[in-house]
Structure 1
C-alpha cells in the first residue's frame, strides 16, 4: 500500500503501511493526512460526540472519503461493525485514517475484526487490537471474545 503515515493526533499508531489509527484529529490534522496520502477517514465516534467542527464536510472538501461507524461503547463492539470496518479497509484506495476520540475504540474494533473477520484466536486478536490502540476497553473485548 503506502508507507507508514504518522499524524499528530492523540495516541497515534501506525500498525501497518498506509494505516494510521488514533484519537480525534483537528482540522489541521486532516489537512496533514490528505497531504500525506490519506484517502479515507473512518470516524468511530457517534454523531453525538461533536468535535467542534464539521468533520464530514472538511474530509469531503479535502477530496477524501468519509465513513462513520458509530461505536458509543462496548454494546457497539459487534461482529457486524467489525465486518463494516473490514469492508471499508478492503475497498479503500490509498491510505486510511481510523479514529475515535482517544484511539481506544479503534483498537477494540480492530481486535474484533482480527477475530471475526481474519480468524485470529482471541489472544492474538487482542494483541492486534493493542497494536491499533486498544487500552481501557480491553476487559470488554476479552469478555466479548471469551478470552
Structure 2
C-alpha cells in the first residue's frame, strides 16, 4: 500500500495523527475514531489491521492492553514522499503566474459574443435588454431586422 493511500482515507489519517503524538492503547483509538467518525469498532479494527499488515504501525502486547505506535520507517517514508512531491512541484512547467492568460487561437469579434448581450445590434437579445428601445414594427421582438 502506498503511503498516499494510507493518508487518503480519513479514518486512517486520523489514526496516524493520533499515533503521531505517541503510543496509545487500542481502546483509546477506537473510542476517539468511533466518536469522531461515527463508525463501529470493527471498522476501526479493520483500519488498524491494514496499518499493521503493511508495517506502518508497531504493536506492543502488554496484557491486558495492546499499545499501538507509528513505525519510524513509515514516518521516514512519508517524509521522503512529501519531499519528492515538493521537488516535482518546484520543477513544474507551465504558467507560473496566475495572472498570465492562456493563448487564444481566435481574435474576439469587435461586435461582441453571441448570447452575451454585448452587441447592441444583436436582434436576438433578450426583451429585458430591449426594454428601453422603441418597438420598430417587426412581427415579433425577436425577429431579425427587415432591410
Same fold (TM over 0.5): no
Larger CA Rg, structure 1 vs 2: 2
TM-score (norm 2): 0.26
Higher RCO, 1 vs 2 (CA within 8 Å, ≥6 residues apart): 1
